[in-house]
């Protein structure tokens, strides 16, 4: 397939959290607000002159110091964020809006806050509570938390947090989501015109760069993909990738190098959920409406009620069917509590109750440090899917089907 | 007559197997791996090819498949297949009744369940850590200043077992040195090391879904002391592929050669 015009530039932007578009936006008076989880309403961090950056730690070296503060048995993503803070990687931020969604990230942001790791003038750090129940009380509590701990902090920096400002931010948020969704829909096609790795990079860009500075390039990329001649490469299998944070494009690249096309991305930093458009409802308070949609869209395994668990299985089943997947890969970053339980249960359920072929892997945050073993696991999984497909088609031919 | 090759480039040994059209093993080679996997593969293949009448060079093989950690560095290979799939197929060729494998290689341990057609039903693999691998045994034998064979035989003479608590190769070595320093019987320490690895294998075998029997593949399959310890810990019969006339260390290369034979004949 013909290379996409902006892809090399996008990859370069992902090499550092403080990339050149962030620098440019700040030089133009923008305020960079970092956040760590889907449960912080990204849209609301893009009001007025603010822009959101979902924190990644691409240049983190060894996790020695964060391990000292947080122990070996804490999620490597959380440790990497702390380590990068200690290394000074987020000193450019004007604020961090964190959530109490998991105890491990709480410890990370607690350390950033207590140790005063970001020493920038007017830097603010806030932390909101996220309810476990998505009902009217929970939504109201969550909305209050967002108003008191995030929007009020932003107001102190002179940011317009009015309903009008929210509506304006909603427009560009929805435009980016619409572009990503339209590109993502091409993954349903039998013939491939956008790979999972390319899609991953495009989606990561939307989380880590000021949206106003990338939307034109994304629009252009969408048009390129529409006109692109599909790949004649023979993919060995189509897979849904499910799990915790994957902010490292090297991982999706490694998976696709084995011949597996990633057709749907249900992981943190993926597009399910995260890149669905938001809609205002007439008669409903604007802020409450946005907060409600974030809580309702969340598919995080932190929710342990039976209906939510079943919903997650059904959702992955739905993606596998919609995107014609042959198998499912469940992955987690080492020591992530929630995905540790989810991966163990779901990989069993999806295999034995839903009948999918499933690979279950845990991995370090920096996947290249374990790439040989990960590659062997993924390749063996893909071979197993491929051989079974061949054997099944031989069986079907023998039976005259 | 056409010949088909499989080359398993492992971290410590490189193995090569050549099959004829009927699936008979006509040659095999095992050499110590060098730092460059391409050189290792080339040497093993040249040695193996030279043992077969009717072919003179690697290019004379009708189909060649690479496997092992250096699988994508095998010169002139048509394709590469993961060692997990190849071990399953190799064991299926050697003894089709075997349904589960514990493969202990130089740098990893794998549990593999085999389907009726020799394909992989399920597998589990250790983390990037030398615990329970060939490297672990090498390190322990070094601590005793004996060879691996002597280490295996030593463990079989133990009347009691001194448990080794550390799984990490580095920490286990210091634990062993401490125990030796305390004057504890060496054979009982050696038996404790075998038990520690057997427990590691238990986890892999159960994760992969072993039910009634398993077989050992990889270089460590030659460790009789480990086989005994696994039988004791897993309470499963350990099928010895030597009884079927096959070297368990060659299973990856044999599986690769069998895949090469199937693909070459269908090409």
For residue B170, pLDDT over 90 is answered with no
Is the Cβ pair B84, A376 closer than 8 Å? yes
What is the C-alpha to C-alpha distance for residues A104 and A100, in angstroms, rounded to an integer? Answer: 9
Is the Cβ pair B81, A372 closer than 8 Å? no
Residue A69 φ/ψ, nearest 5 degrees:
-80, -30
**A106 vs A392, more confident:** A106
SS3 state at A95:
strand
Print the domain residue range for A366: 233-398
SS3 state at A265:
strand
Contacts of A384 in chain B (CB under 8 A): 85, 119-121
pLDDT at B167 (0 to 100): 66
- In a domain, residue A60? The reply is no
DSSP class of residue A148 equals I
Q: Determine which of A67-71, A264-268, B236-240 has the lowest per-residue pLDDT on average.
A: B236-240
- In a domain, residue A202? The reply is no
Contacts of B119 in chain A (CB under 8 A): 384, 387-388, 391
pLDDT digits (tens, 9 = 90+) for A45-101: 999 999 999 999 998 888 999 999 999 999 999 999 999 999 999 999 999 999 999
Q: What CATH code is assigned to B99-245? A: 3.30.420.40
Are the C-beta atoms of residues B188 and B263 closer than 8 Å to each other?
A: no
pLDDT digits (tens, 9 = 90+) for B44-65: 999 999 999 999 999 999 999 9
Residues of B with a Cβ under 8 Å from any A Cβ are 69, 81-85, 108, 117, 119-121, 123, 125, 127-128
Is the Cβ pair A373, B81 closer than 8 Å? no
Is the Cβ pair A384, B85 closer than 8 Å? yes
Are the C-beta atoms of residues A187 and A241 closer than 8 Å to each other?
A: no
For residue A397, pLDDT over 80 is answered with no
Mean of pLDDT values over B153-176: 83
- In a domain, residue A126? The reply is no
- In a domain, residue A58? The reply is no
For residue A168, pLDDT over 90 is answered with yes
Scanning every residue of chain B, which has its alpha carbon at the shortest distance from the alpha carbon of A372? B69
Name the domain count of chain A: 1
Q: Do domains B1-95+247-267 and B99-245 have the same CATH topology?
A: yes
For residue B107, pLDDT over 90 is answered with no
pLDDT at A211 (0 to 100): 97
For residue A260, pLDDT over 70 is answered with yes
Check if A395 contacts B (Cβ < 8 Å). no
pLDDT band at A392 (very low <50, low <70, confident <90, very high): confident
pLDDT at A61 (0 to 100): 82
pLDDT at B197 (0 to 100): 86
| Average pLDDT value for chain A | 94
For residue A204, pLDDT over 70 is answered with yes
Angstrom distances, CA of residue A110 to CA of A105, A144, A258, A277, A334: 8, 21, 40, 32, 21
Scanning every residue of chain B, which has its alpha carbon at the shortest distance from the alpha carbon of A389? B119
pLDDT digits (tens, 9 = 90+) for B4-33: 999 999 988 999 999 999 999 999 999 999
Scanning every residue of chain B, which has its alpha carbon at the shortest distance from the alpha carbon of A358? B122
For residue B169, pLDDT over 70 is answered with no
Query: Which candidate from B82, B117, B127 shows the least CB-CB separation from A380?
Result: B82
Q: What is the pTM of this model?
A: 0.87
pLDDT at B253 (0 to 100): 98
Q: Where are the domains of chain B?
A: 1-95+247-267, 99-245
Mean of pLDDT values over A294-316: 95
Domain B1-95+247-267 has CATH 3.30.1700.10: no
Is the Cβ pair A376, B120 closer than 8 Å? no
Mean of pLDDT values over A379-397: 84
What is the C-alpha to C-alpha distance for residues A36 and A110, in angstroms, rounded to an integer? Answer: 13
pLDDT at A398 (0 to 100): 67
pLDDT digits (tens, 9 = 90+) for B222-232: 888 988 888 88
- In a domain, residue A307? The reply is yes
| Average pLDDT value for chain B | 90
* Beta-carbon pairs below 8 A across chains A and B: 41
Is the Cβ pair A370, B128 closer than 8 Å? yes
For residue B256, pLDDT over 90 is answered with yes
For residue A327, pLDDT over 90 is answered with yes
Mean of pLDDT values over A176-183: 98
Of A383, A375, A389, the C-alpha closest to A256 is: A375
CATH number (domain holding residue A338): 3.40.50.11900
Q: Determine which of A65-69, A116-120, B71-75, B123-127 has the lowest per-residue pLDDT on average.
A: B123-127
Rounded to 10 deg, the angle between the A103-114 and A76-86 helix axes is: 10
For residue A401, pLDDT over 60 is answered with no
- In a domain, residue A77? The reply is no
For residue B136, pLDDT over 90 is answered with no
pLDDT at A98 (0 to 100): 97
pLDDT band at B213 (very low <50, low <70, confident <90, very high): confident
Check if A390 contacts B (Cβ < 8 Å). no
Residue-wise over A52-73: b if at least 16 C-beta within 10 A, else e? bbbbbbbebeebebbbebbeee
For residue B171, pLDDT over 80 is answered with no
Q: What number of other Cβ atoms are within 10 A of residue B35's Cβ?
A: 6
pLDDT digits (tens, 9 = 90+) for A90-100: 999 999 999 99
pLDDT at B34 (0 to 100): 94
């Amino acid at each position: 397939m013909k290379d996409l015009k902006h892809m090399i530039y996008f990859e370069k932007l992902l090499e550092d959290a403080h990339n050149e578009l962030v620098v440019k936006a700040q030089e133009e008076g923008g305020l960079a607000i970092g956040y760590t989880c889907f449960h912080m309403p990204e849209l609301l961090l893009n009001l007025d002159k603010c822009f959101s950056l979902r924190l990644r730690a691409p240049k983190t070296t060894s996790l020695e110091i964060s391990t000292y503060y947080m122990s070996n048995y804490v999620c490597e993503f959380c440790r990497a964020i702390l380590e990068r803070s200690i290394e000074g990687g987020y000193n450019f931020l004007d604020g961090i809006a964190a959530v109490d969604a998991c105890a491990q990230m709480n410890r990370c942001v607690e350390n950033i806050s207590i140790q005063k790791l970001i020493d920038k003038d007017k830097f603010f750090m806030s932390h909101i509570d996220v309810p476990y129940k998505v009902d009217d009380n929970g939504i109201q509590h969550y909305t209050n938390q967002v108003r008191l701990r995030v929007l009020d902090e932003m107001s102190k920096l002179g940011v317009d947090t009015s309903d009008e400002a929210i509506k304006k931010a909603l427009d560009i948020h929805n435009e980016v989501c619409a572009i990503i969704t339209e590109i993502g829909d091409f993954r349903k096609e039998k013939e491939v015109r956008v790979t999972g790795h390319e899609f991953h990079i495009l989606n990561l860009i939307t989380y880590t760069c000021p949206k106003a500075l990338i939307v034109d390039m994304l629009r252009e990329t969408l048009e390129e993909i529409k006109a692109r001649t599909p790949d004649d490469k023979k993919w060995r299998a189509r897979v849904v990738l499910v799990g915790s944070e994957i902010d490292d494009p090297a991982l999706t690249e490694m998976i696709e190098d084995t011949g597996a096309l990633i057709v749907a991305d249900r992981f943190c930093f993926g597009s399910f959920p995260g890149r669905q458009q938001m809609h205002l409802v007439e008669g409903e308070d604007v802020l409450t409406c946005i907060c409600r949609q974030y809580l309702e869209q969340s598919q995080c395994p932190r929710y342990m009620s039976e209906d939510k668990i079943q919903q997650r299985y059904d959702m992955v089943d739905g993606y596998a069917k919609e995107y014609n997947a042959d198998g499912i890969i469940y992955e987690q970053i080492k020591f992530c509590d929630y995905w540790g339980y989810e991966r163990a249960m779901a990989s069993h359920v999806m295999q034995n109750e839903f009948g999918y072929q499933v690979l279950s892997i845990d991995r370090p945050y920096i996947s290249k440090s374990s790439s040989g073993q990960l590659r062997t696991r993924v390749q063996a999984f893909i071979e197993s899917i491929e051989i079974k497909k061949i054997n099944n088609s031989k069986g079907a031919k023998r039976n005259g089907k | 007559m056409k010949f088909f090759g499989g080359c398993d480039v492992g971290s410590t040994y490189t193995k090569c197997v050549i099959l004829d059209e009927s699936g008979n093993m006509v040659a095999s080679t095992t050499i110590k791996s060098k730092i460059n996997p391409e050189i290792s593969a080339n040497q093993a293949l040249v040695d193996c090819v030279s043992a077969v009448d009717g072919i003179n060079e690697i290019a004379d093989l009708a189909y060649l498949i690479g496997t092992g950690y250096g699988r994508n560095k095998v010169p002139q290979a048509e394709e590469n297949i993961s060692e997990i799939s190849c071990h399953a197929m190799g064991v299926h060729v050697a003894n089709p009744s075997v349904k589960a494998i514990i493969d202990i290689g130089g740098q990893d341990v794998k549990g593999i369940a085999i389907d009726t057609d020799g394909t992989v039903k399920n597998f589990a693999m250790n983390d990037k850590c030398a615990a329970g691998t060939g490297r672990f045994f090498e390190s322990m034998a070094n601590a005793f200043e004996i060879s691996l064979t002597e280490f295996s035989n030593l463990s079989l003479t133990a009347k009691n077992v001194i448990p080794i608590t550390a799984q990490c190769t580095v920490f286990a070595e210091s634990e062993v040195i401490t125990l030796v320093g305390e004057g504890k019987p060496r054979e009982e320490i050696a038996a404790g090391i075998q038990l520690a690895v057997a427990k590691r294998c238990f986890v892999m075998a159960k994760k992969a879904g072993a039910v009634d029997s398993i077989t050992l593949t990889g270089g460590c399959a030659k460790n009789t002391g480990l086989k005994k310890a696994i039988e004791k810990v897993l309470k499963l019969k350990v099928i010895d592929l030597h009884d079927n006339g096959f070297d368990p260390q060659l299973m990856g290369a044999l599986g690769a050669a069998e895949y090469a034979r199937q693909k070459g004949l269908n090409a």
